[in-house]
Amino acid sequence: MAQPERGAGGGTVVGWKLDPRERAELLARFPPRWPDTVADHVTLRSGTGPGTPLPSEEAGEVVGWTDDGEGLQALVVAIGGGTARADGGTYHITWSLDRGAGRKPVESNRVLAERGWHRLEKPIPVRLRPARF
């Protein structure tokens, strides 16, 4: 059995995986700008242990986007009516990045905090599967 990925601070990540069909639709709507596409999950908490409960929400809305022009693109997601995570971050999907330039998915948090994001004219509903990864 494959082991879950480790969060940036150790432990695993708890959050949501995107529905594969909706992921494909979003990729067609928002073409990845950078060479490495992630586009598969929304983080709730990283560095969690095996006893950390999975979230109960199973739906969200893509409400915005950011691209720092330097190798990182992310979509902003509203869950339970808001985009703010309890840890002060923003719910998001790291969409694409340039790993060759040293970019890492965890940098989406900093880019969103420092540069903000652009709101979509109309939110896009998405199904989310609670997961540990």
Q: What are phi and psi of 32, to 5 degrees?
A: -60, 130
Please write the tens of the pLDDT for every residue from 91-115.
Answer: 999 999 999 999 999 999 999 999 9
Q: What residue ranges do the domains of the chain occupy? A: 13-45+58-129
Please write the tens of the pLDDT for every residue from 81-95.
Answer: 999 999 999 999 999
CA distances for 75 relative to 30, 51, 107, 118, angstroms: 9, 29, 13, 9
pTM score > 0.85 for this model? yes
